Amino acid sequence: MDLIFLTGFHTSITLICIVGLAVVVSGFLLKKIKQPTLIAYILLGVLIGQYGFDLIGDETNIRYIGELGIILLFFFIGMEIDLYSFVGNWRLALFGTLGQFLLSIGAVWGIGLLFGWETTRILVLGFVIALSSSAVIFKLLEDKNLLDKKIGQNVSSILLAQDIAIAPILILISIFGGEDTSTESILLKIIGGILIISTIIYIYVKKEITWLPFRKSIMKDHELQVFLALFFCFAGAVIAGMFGISEALGAFVGGLIMHAGKATRWIHDAIHSFRILFVAVFFISIGAQINITFLLDNLLPLGLVLVAVFGLNHAINTLILKMYNNSWREAIFGGAMLAQIGELSFLICITALNLEILTDYAYDFTISLISLTIGISPFWILLTEKISARKKEIAA
């Protein structure tokens, strides 16, 4: 019995070491050739996932670790984002996000009429393609040092508004899908949303928070620094989860609190390494969900829909950003950043599958499409940058 336990433990540790080594090597190589490291992580996930060499086995654990990385990512974004610029962009965040949803649903509605889709399926697919990937875009904005720039703040505002919108979207889909959604569940989400908005307003008005526990004594103790940072990160995530809101959004608010407490620099140094590793695992878990056999069998339709999604999302977001005082160059670049389908769309697909709104084939197709758009997104952004730079050279 003991021997069997030790063997299983040894195998798990070996797997973790192999994945960790692969993350380090692939990330290093991509950095050397100046490409986004998330590409390597997604490809690595394809190789070691159940549709590749099946080295992971149960993918649930690695998915949980990856989601932990996203929680840490949002916590860091909360510490680094300029709250005053974000609040100043509330019109773009609100009306820009509504515009995305309406235009995306309208485009899918036109396609759905041709194929005789039900209204519920049209709504589901419209919401799926409208949501962009916070994980991908925030990572790229960080890598390009754009978080404190105008276009970075505008894109961030839209992303955070989308993350807040996921709760009412899931409620709406459940109602249209015929699921009995309790009044208590809806009220909890409403209260959670009000709590998050109220906390952001409080931080905005106070400007600086001086009530952080042991604020002065903790400055000299690195271990306590880590514990305090993780407390606010995970406490925010847990509280948000209790209200049925995205845990990552709760961690974001925790990051805002730490930023207002003027503790950003020492916390950043203390736990930055953990965030890098866990975010890498998240992208590996995305790659692990790509079914290579299904992808190859449906290469043509997936390719056509992929191009259509990128083109549609790029055009919609470019127009929205242009309407809010961005130059055409900034709007086109921001549109490219928001062109992919986001990880929160996985939640919509799972909910729709459970409610039998999507068939098994439609679910596999959509999951493959989401994973592909996330993987290809850095190339799409790079291509947009190259074309814009080329046009600028010609104009000069």
> Is 45 a residue whose pLDDT tops 50?
yes
What local confidence, expressed as pLDDT, does residue 105 receive? 92
Question: 217-273, pLDDT tens digit by residue?
Answer: 666 666 777 777 788 889 999 998 888 777 878 888 888 887 777 665 666 666 777
Place of tokens 């439609």: 362
Domain count of the fold of the chain: 1
The CATH number of whichever domain residue 271 belongs to comes to 1.20.1530.20
Residues 123 and 140: beta-carbon distance below 8 Å: no
Q: Based on the number of CB atoms within 10 Å of its own CB, is 50 exposed (0-12), middle (13-18) or buried (19 or more)? A: middle
Q: Which domain holds residue 283?
A: 2-395
What local confidence, expressed as pLDDT, does residue 268 receive? 66
Q: Is the pTM of this model over 0.95?
A: no
Q: What mean pLDDT value characterizes the chain?
A: 80
Find all residues with CB under 8 Å of 365, minimum gap 6, and list them. 294, 298, 301, 302, 305
> Is 6 a residue whose pLDDT tops 50?
no
Instruction: Take residue 364 and report the two structure tokens written for it.
Output: 């596999």
What local confidence, expressed as pLDDT, does residue 103 receive? 92
> Is 363 a residue whose pLDDT tops 70?
yes
Distance in angstroms (rounded) separating the CA atoms of residues 80 and 294:
40
More confident residue, 292 or 333: 333
Per-residue pLDDT band for 9 (boundaries 50, 70, 90) equals very low
Question: 232-248, pLDDT tens digit by residue?
Answer: 889 999 998 888 777 87
What local confidence, expressed as pLDDT, does residue 7 receive? 45
Per-residue pLDDT band for 380 (boundaries 50, 70, 90) equals very high
Mean pLDDT of the 350-361 span: 84
Cβ neighbours of 344 (radius 10 Å): 23
What local confidence, expressed as pLDDT, does residue 65 receive? 67
Mean pLDDT of the 114-123 span: 86
Per-residue pLDDT band for 198 (boundaries 50, 70, 90) equals confident
> Is 396 a residue whose pLDDT tops 60?
no
- Long-range CB pairs of 192-197 (<8 Å, 24+ gap) are 192/167, 192/240, 192/242, 192/243, 192/244, 192/245, 193/164, 193/167, 193/243, 193/245, 195/239, 195/243, 196/164, 196/240, 196/245, 196/249, 196/250, 196/253
Mean pLDDT of the 51-71 span: 69
Q: What is the CA radius of gyration of the chain?
A: 21
Give one DSSP letter per residue of 294-326, joined into a string. Answer: HHHHTHHHHHHHHHHHHHHHHHHHHHHHHHTT-
For the ranges 14-18, 288-292, 311-315, 361-365, the one whose mean pLDDT is highest: 311-315
Q: How far is CA 198 from CA 192, 202, 203, 215, in A?
A: 10, 6, 9, 24
